């Protein structure tokens, strides 16, 4: 899902919005269309990192698997 981060030129508000094709983006705070899209790699938020396997779980798996 293309969720973009915007900052408002008028009031300086930062917000995220899921943008459909051809949709005009307006600031939810002041309803201004003078918004700038932030070009960041961020897609779903910091919560995404919580579900990915960390190095600790990978290390534990390798150390306990002494089959050789
Ligand atoms: Zn605004």
Q: Is residue 16 part of a domain?
A: yes
Q: Is residue 31 part of a domain?
A: yes
The residue written with tokens 């150390």 in the block is 63
15 pLDDT higher than 80: yes
Q: Is residue 49 part of a domain?
A: no
List, for residues 58-68, the tens digit of each pLDDT value.
555 555 666 66
Total number of domains constituting the chain: 1
- If you measure from the C-alpha of residue 18 to the centroid of ligand 1, how many angstroms do you get, rounded to a whole number? 17
Q: Which residues 6+ apart lie within 8 Å of 60 measured at CB?
A: none
Q: Is residue 62 part of a domain?
A: no
Q: Is residue 48 part of a domain?
A: no
Q: How many CB atoms within 10 Å of residue 27?
A: 21
Nearest to 27 by CA among 1, 7, 3, 43: 7
Q: Is residue 25 part of a domain?
A: yes
12: domain range?
1-38
In this structure, which residues have their CB less than 5 angstroms from ion ligand 1? 8, 10-11, 13, 27, 29-30, 32
Query: For the residues 27-56, what does the mean pLDDT come to?
Result: 72
Dist. CA 33–CA 52, nearest whole Å:
36
Q: Is residue 2 part of a domain?
A: yes
Q: In this prediction, what percent of the chain has a pLDDT beyond 90?
A: 40
> In a 3-state reduction of DSSP, which class is residue 57?
helix
- If you measure from the C-alpha of residue 68 to the centroid of ligand 1, how many angstroms do you get, rounded to a whole number? 62
Q: Is residue 6 part of a domain?
A: yes
């Amino acid at each position: 899902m293309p969720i973009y981060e915007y900052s408002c030129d008028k009031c300086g508000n930062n917000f995220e919005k899921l943008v459909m094709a051809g949709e005009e983006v307006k600031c939810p705070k002041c309803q201004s269309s003078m918004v700038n899209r932030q070009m960041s790699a961020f897609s779903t938020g910091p919560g995404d990192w919580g579900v990915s396997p960390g190095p600790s779980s990978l290390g534990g798996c390798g150390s306990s698997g002494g089959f050789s």
